[in-house]
Amino acid sequence: MRELPVANSKHMTDPYPANFLTEPSDLPTPRYSRGATGPTNFYAPGARDLLPLDVAQKRWVEKRIQDVFHRWGYHRIITSTLERLETLIAGGAVDRDSVIQIPAIDGGTLGLRPELTASIARAAVARMGDIYPQRLYYNANVFLKSDLEHHGRQQEFYQAGIELLGIGGIRADVEAILLMIDCLTSLAVPNWQIILGEAGLSRALLAQFPSEFQTQIRQCLAHLDRVTLEQIPLTPQQQELALCLLDLRGNPALVLTKLAQLQLDAHSQATISHLQMVVDLLTTTTNAQIPLILDLSLIQTFDYYTGIVFEAVSITADRAHILGKGGRYDKLLALYHPQGQNFPGIGFALNIEDLQQVLQANPAMPRYTAKPDWLVVAVTSTATAAALSYAHQLRATPELVRVEMYLDDGNLAQIRQIAIDRGTARIAWVSDEEVKVEELGAE
């Protein structure tokens, strides 16, 4: 008989600890196996395993987000993890070099999706007809290729998000933002803020600079890089405007007042009016005050969004966590439509890992994996069939019951201690003659 370990009963331990948010430098030293051709490293660069507690916390977050999506009338869509590279980069949202690429059997190139919008746009226009609006949501993994400088950095991430397709206008913009806010409040995310921008307006403001400097200025604004911005050889008037754009962030009323003082064309003035109405609706349609920041430097480094853009940020003691991003893209769907017909769209993605990190202090977040309701023990070898049958009866109940069979040999005291350490609620001691149920009183 194999000797069984006896754990300390004073401290119930989780048999499945978490490796949540482990940095590559914190991972154990890679183990190697010496094969016929030399040592083999079993750790894939950029990979991260989710242990049972990680999964329990991840599913806790995802379930609450999914419930919000359902309440708003959204339906889940699942698209392929692999897409043709041309599909992923068509809208200008994804740089070719950032995609993990795989050769296709037809000679083309496939890519692991770095985001979901392109895949959903392709599926919607090609397979779902022209019945709009479409309210779709997803919960999936995405892949971001790490560069040589950051070899080993995590490359697989999890996101949950929505796409509202085929409808434009203020109401759709406000719905997407309020839906994101509903997710944050349902999760009880601490110290969150919504940062709101307007890609079309920012692009119009950038057009006032010499074309040879626009990309560099855009990069500086996107990364809030004042030092580099001040070094760009602009005229004093252009330099003043560039720094003004960098500082166009803060209280919506104050930022809108500054915008009104700029010399802008009629289209930009109409965009500002749209932005004003979005801000007004956001601040008047909920009971609680929305922590809203208007930021005209909130522009991406690619030509993906055409209108409203927004981010969800949580401010913690150590840093600001970007929990999600979204925006309006009114020219994307035409790229995938067989006849080139265009439909507006808006959506956002929430980063599950970042949400898990900021929610670690939430008392509702799972701290242990689910504990067994039953441990069924065959007291003798001849009682094995009876024990298996009893376990089957317990699992057949309509409600979820977690039933484990004790598969090893051991004395009763050892088995009882193991059950206590694992948080098991009760033990069924099954003999040839009877079943004795012992309540352990585990919570």
Strands 403-405 and 374-378: parallel
What is the helix (H) or strand (E) element at residue 327, kind and residue range?
strand 320-328
Q: Is 304 helix (H, G, I), strand (E, B) or coil?
A: coil
Mean pLDDT for the stretch of residues 163-173 = 95
Q: Whole-number mean pLDDT of the chain?
A: 86
**Given pLDDT bands bounded at 50, 70 and 90, which one contains residue 319?**
confident
Cα–Cα distance for residue pair 206/211, rounded to 1 Å: 9
What would the pLDDT profile of 204-223 be if each residue is shown by its tens digit? 888 888 888 888 888 888 78
Residue 196 near residue 295 (C-beta atoms within 8 A): yes
How many other C-beta atoms are found inside a 10 Å radius of the C-beta of residue 377?
A: 25
Residue 202's pLDDT is 85
Mean pLDDT for the stretch of residues 357-362 = 92
Cα–Cα distance for residue pair 33/41, rounded to 1 Å: 7
Name the one residue in this structure whose structure tokens are 């349609």. 285
Residue 401's pLDDT is 94
What is the helix (H) or strand (E) element at residue 69, kind and residue range?
helix 52-71
Residue 10's pLDDT is 36
pLDDT tops 80 at residue 12:
no
pLDDT tops 80 at residue 225:
yes
What would the pLDDT profile of 72-125 be if each residue is shown by its tens digit? 999 999 999 999 998 888 877 778 888 999 999 998 999 999 999 999 999 998
Residue 243's pLDDT is 87
**Is this structure's pTM higher than 0.95?**
no
**Given pLDDT bands bounded at 50, 70 and 90, which one contains residue 258?**
confident
Mean pLDDT for the stretch of residues 184-200 = 94
- Give 72-135 as a DSSP string: TT-EE----SEEEHHHHHTTSSS-GGGS-EEE-TTS-EEEE-S-SHHHHHHHHHHHSTT---EE
What would the pLDDT profile of 398-443 be if each residue is shown by its tens digit? 999 999 999 998 889 999 999 999 999 999 999 999 999 999 975 4
Percent over 90 (pLDDT), the chain? 56
Which DSSP state fits 314? E
pLDDT tops 60 at residue 6:
no
Which DSSP state fits 237? H
Residue 148's pLDDT is 53
pLDDT tops 80 at residue 321:
yes
How many other C-beta atoms are found inside a 10 Å radius of the C-beta of residue 425?
A: 17
Residue 316's pLDDT is 80
Mean pLDDT for the stretch of residues 233-262 = 87
Mean pLDDT for the stretch of residues 9-30 = 46
Cα–Cα distance for residue pair 254/246, rounded to 1 Å: 14
Mean pLDDT for the stretch of residues 132-155 = 82
Residue 241's pLDDT is 86
| CA distances to 79, 81, 92, 144, 299 from 141, in Å | 11, 8, 21, 10, 24
How many other C-beta atoms are found inside a 10 Å radius of the C-beta of residue 190?
A: 13
